[in-house]
Structure 1
Amino acid sequence: MSPLANPQQYLDNARIAPEVFQLRPDYRALLLVITNIPPAPSDAQSDALLQEAEASAKAALAKAPVTEIPHVKAWRSAYTAFGAKPKKTPNSLEALTRRVEKGGLPRVNRLTDIYNAISVKHQIPLGGEDLDKYSGAPFLVRAKGGEKFEMKAGGEVVNEPPIAGEVVWCDEEGVTCRVWNWRQGPRTALTDETRNVLIIMDALEACSDGQLDAAADELSRVLSGLSPEVEVRRRLFKA
């Protein structure tokens, strides 16, 4: 089934394997399907959101190093539990926060800029998948090890399979994101033409349900403001 044929059924068919919750009983995933987003380059609105996020990150970094920011610290612990090395594979929130520390967040396109800003401002790892390139419903599992995962390195596409026990997001064609929320594969990555997107918000105990909802509400409000045709659906997963 195409994700866009029935977005609600698509969300209903999404799943998280029990062994993920066994690893981290405090884990929650908030999935949003957002359709009919008008694509556009970075603009004044997305830049303002990024500046707000940068200011928020700088305020947090003034109080503690990036590795001691509560939600970053929690994710580093989660990674270590299945054998990943946070220094080598930082979670997406940590990677973006370090970009602020080194100078500022990237300007990519309006959609990517908006969701990066929400991630940093609310201190929640957040990923975006192009639904027009996605195959079937998303599911989160612990890898058997050796599954195909193609990514770009040095301008070439290379296979870098997950290790056994690694937490990975997948669709029917294979792994779409390695190390829970570290690295997305190019097959389903957002582009300047993306109109329909799956947003994945990952939370551990350091992030409350209220904080998770606040981030989703702001993202929904901002994207809905881009066009009356934008539609947002969401589903929360928890143990």
Structure 2
Amino acid sequence: MKFIVAKEVFENLDNVCFGIVVAKGINNKENIGATQLLKDSIELIETKFKDKNVKEVEDMVYYREAFLKLGINPNKFKSSIEAITTRVAKKKGFPNINPVVDIGNAVSLKYLVPLGAHDIDSAEEDICLRFSKEGDTFLPFGENELELLGEDELIYSVGNKVKTRRWIWRQSEQGKITEESKNIFFPIDGFKDKNYDNVINARDELAEILKKNFNCEIKVGFVDINNTEFEF
């Protein structure tokens, strides 16, 4: 199986890059201190963003500008990292979901990068980042009615099933991480000319935490305009 980024993505966002972590053999039912990791990141954000407007912080502006290039209104559709940071900065807290998701959210907040998580076993085909076409469908969290997409929306997909809409806005019910998830693909989205170090540091720390806590098989990678695929 591969993660493939379509060449059209780089034509629109030439410096976009992706840190990749693939973890296999996870037991996501264990209590492994993920709660504390998330708590620490929440406290960090509450302090760091005190008296600041989240959307004006440079780390968020990178994604807002990219959304505008893609024709996405960043005020109506916040990137996942802006949405979670805004919530936490307002001291609204953030729920514990399961160990893997909590760890992902903790690392995402610490490095201020969007970090996705997709169940590999639910993917019948390669995971792709591409622009949508007629016939693509999306199942929102907690829903049972599919949404039909129009053309030219940047999406994470498996076949015609959309895993994440509007690039890094919202993930699907299909392929979400549950306590039963064992094999997981984590993409970390960023920009080589803006927050490359954060992408790489988030990737490496996520890999280290997963290996330490789950004793699972780990593979890391990097995708950019010069290397558009990653096999796992």
TM-score by length of 2: 0.88
The partner residue of 1:215 within 188, 202, 214 is 202
Which residue in 1 is equivalent to 2:230? Answer: none
Alpha-carbon shift at residue 40 of structure 1 (Å): 2.1
CA distance in 2, matches of 1:185, 1:150: 5
Which residue in 1 is equivalent to 2:146? Answer: 159
Q: Return the letter of the residue paired with 2:149.
A: P
Gaps of at least 5 residues in structure 1 are: 1-9
* Equivalent pair of 1:135/1:173 in contact (CA under 8 Å): no
Q: Which runs of 4+ in 1 moved over 6 A?
A: none
Distance change in 2, residues 1:74/1:163 (3 Å): farther
Percent of aligned pairs sharing the same letter: 27
Residue 124 of structure 1 aligns to a residue whose secondary structure is coil
- What's the Cα RMSD here? 1.9
* Equivalent pair of 1:142/1:168 in contact (CA under 8 Å): yes
Work out whether 1:21 is the aligned partner of 2:13: no
* Equivalent pair of 1:162/1:178 in contact (CA under 8 Å): no
Which residue in 1 is equivalent to 2:189? Answer: 202
Residue 187 of structure 1 aligns to a residue whose secondary structure is coil
Residue 200 of structure 1 aligns to a residue whose secondary structure is strand
* Equivalent pair of 2:135/2:149 in contact (CA under 8 Å): yes
Which residue in 2 is equivalent to 1:142? Answer: 131
CA distance in 1, matches of 2:59, 2:149: 24
* Equivalent pair of 1:40/1:111 in contact (CA under 8 Å): no
TM-score by length of 1: 0.86
CA distance in 2, matches of 1:162, 1:73: 26
CA deviation digits over 1:93-118, x for unaligned, max 9?
01111220232121111111000000
**Correspondences of 1:106-145 after superposition (within 5 Å):** 106-144=95-133
CA distance in 1, matches of 2:24, 2:143: 31
Gaps of at least 5 residues in structure 2 are: 226-232
Work out whether 1:87 is the aligned partner of 2:71: no
Q: Return the letter of the residue paired with 2:222.
A: L
Which residue in 2 is equivalent to 1:4? Answer: none
Q: How many residues are paired up?
A: 223
Alpha-carbon shift at residue 216 of structure 1 (Å): 1.1
* Equivalent pair of 1:141/1:167 in contact (CA under 8 Å): yes
Higher mean alpha-carbon deviation, 60-69 vs 13-22, is at 60-69
